[in-house]
Amino acid sequence: NQEQQVSNQPYNLRDRQNINPPARYPSMMVAQQVTDEQAVSGEEAEHWKEAMKEEYEALINNGMWELTELPSANKTPLDNRWVFRKKLAADGLQFKMEECKPVATPGEKMITESKPAVGVPYREAIGSLIYLSVATRPDISYSVSFLSQFLEKPQDHHWQGVKRILRYLKGTMKHGLHFGGGQCTQLRVYSDADYAGDQTDRRSTSGFVALLGNCAVAWGSRKQKSVALSTTESEFVAACHSVKELVWLRNLWDELRGKDNKKLPVVLMDNQSAIKLIQNPEFHKRSKHIDVQYFFIREKFYDKLFSLEYVETSEQVADIFTK
C-alpha cells in the first residue's frame, strides 16, 4: 500500500510532514558534541561536509532563513547557542522608523478612542511583527497579539503602539534566544492569565512559555474566546491552552529523545484554586458553567501526561504574555 511504499523510501528527516505516530520512524540518535575543527579533521570529514551542505541548502531553499553574524559581544562555548533575527528587526526602515528613539518597553497603557489611522502600513507592520514574535522575540508577543485585533479599522493610538514596538526593537536588536548546555530533559510550561484585562469586552488573556532547561522553546499570548467569571476560571482556561501546546511538544520531544525520558513535564501555575479545580473530578457550583471543552485538561492530567506545581506570582515567567 501507499504507506508501505513511503516507509520503504530512504529516510530523510526533512521529507517528513508528520511526527506521529513516532513508531513508524527510527529514533534520532544523540551523539557526542565535537567542534567544527574536530569534525573537519576527523575520519568522517567528507560525510560531515556533505551533511552540512545539505542542511544549509535546505534552510536557504525554503526562503525562511539567512545567515547573520553573531554580535561581537557574545562569545559562547561549544554547548551554547544564540538565535537572532536581526534582519526583520531592522526592517523598521520601510515604516520610516530608521531615526526613531529607542524605548525600554514594547508597550504602554493606551487610550480607548482616537481618530482612524489612514494611509499607514498597519497590516504590513503587524504581519512582520507577528513573524518576529513567533520566531525569536517572545518579549513582544503580548503587544503584537493585542494590536493584531485591530487590522480592519485601526485607530491612531493603535498605530502609535506599532511604532513603539519598532522603537523597542531598535534598542534591542542584539537581543536573542540563548540555548545553553546541560542535561536537563524536563519540559516546564509556565501558564498564566490576567482577569478581565481587556477594557472593551472584559475578556482575559492567556499566556504560556515552555522551557527546556532554561531555554524557551515555545510561547504564546492570546485573548480567551469567552468571558471568565473569576480569576480561577481565567487561569483554568489558560492552562487548557498551555496543555494543548504541551501535547504537541511532548510528542516531538519523545521522538527526538526516545521514550526513555522518565521526567514528566510539569505545568506551573500561580493560582491554587485553578490547580485544585484541575485535580478535583467533582463539579462545584461556581465551576459548572465552564465549557466542557476545557475539561480536556483534566483528561490529560489523569492520563499522567503532565504534573502540576504551584509557583509564586513573582516567579511566574509567563506573566509577560498577559499584560
Q: What is the pLDDT of residues 54-85, one digit of tens each?
A: 887 887 777 656 665 655 555 555 556 667 66
162 in the same domain as 106: yes
In this structure, the answer to whether residues 235 and 312 fall within a common structural domain is: yes
Query: For residue 162, what is the enclosing H or E element?
Result: helix 156-171
DSSP, res 173 = T
Q: What pLDDT score does 295 carry?
A: 83
Residue 18: inside a domain: no
Task: Please give the grid coordinates belonging to residue 9.
Answer: 523510501
Q: Which of 116, 147, 171 is the last residue of a domain?
A: 171
Domain-embedded: residue 10: no
Task: Note the pTM of the prediction, 2 decimals.
Answer: 0.78
Q: What is the mean pLDDT of residues 194-213?
A: 92
Does 219 share its domain with 293?
yes
> In percent, how much of the chain has pLDDT > 90?
45
Residue numbers of the domain that contains 110: 83-171
Q: Are residues 190 and 307 both part of a single domain?
A: yes
Same domain, 132 and 206: no
Residue 204 and residue 313 in one domain? yes
93 in any annotated domain = yes
pLDDT at 306 over 80: yes
Residues 155 and 196 in one domain: no
- Whether the CB-CB separation of 154 and 125 falls below 8 Å is answered with no
Confidence (pLDDT) at 223: 95
pLDDT band at 289 (very low <50, low <70, confident <90, very high): confident
Tell me which of 118, 139, 171 is where a domain ends: 171
309 lies in the same domain as 216:
yes
- DSSP tag of 155: B
Which of 171, 198, 230 is the last residue in one of the domains? 171
Residues 310 and 191 in one domain: yes
CA 257 – CA 27 distance, rounded (Å): 7
E-assigned strand segments in the chain: 81-83, 177-179, 187-193, 205-212, 215-223, 266-269, 307-310
pLDDT tens for each residue of 82-101: 676 655 544 555 677 777 88
Q: Is 22 helix (H, G, I), strand (E, B) or coil?
A: helix
* Residue 177 exposed, middle or buried by CB count within 10 Å (0-12, 13-18, 19+): middle
pLDDT at 13 over 80: no
Q: Are residues 192 and 302 in the same domain?
A: yes
If asked whether residues 157 and 204 sit together in one domain, one would say no
Could you tell me if residue 154 is inside a domain? yes
Is 75 within a domain? no
Task: Report how far Cα 210 is from the mean position of its chain's Cα atoms.
Answer: 7
Q: What is the pLDDT of residue 197?
A: 87
What is the CATH classification number for the domain harbouring 187? 3.30.420.10
In a domain, residue 176? The reply is no
**C-beta of residue 96 within 8 angstroms of C-beta of residue 117:** no
Average pLDDT score over residue span 240-257? 89
The CA distance from 252 to 263, in Å, is 15
- CA dist 241 and 147 (Å) reads 20
* 13: in domain: no
Name the β-bridge partners of 82: 178
Q: Which residues contact residue 195 at a Cβ distance below 8 angstroms, ignoring those fewer than 6 apart? A: 204, 228, 230, 231, 234
Q: How many domains does the chain have?
A: 2
Looking at the domain assignment, is residue 207 inside a domain? yes
Residues 192 and 309 in one domain: yes
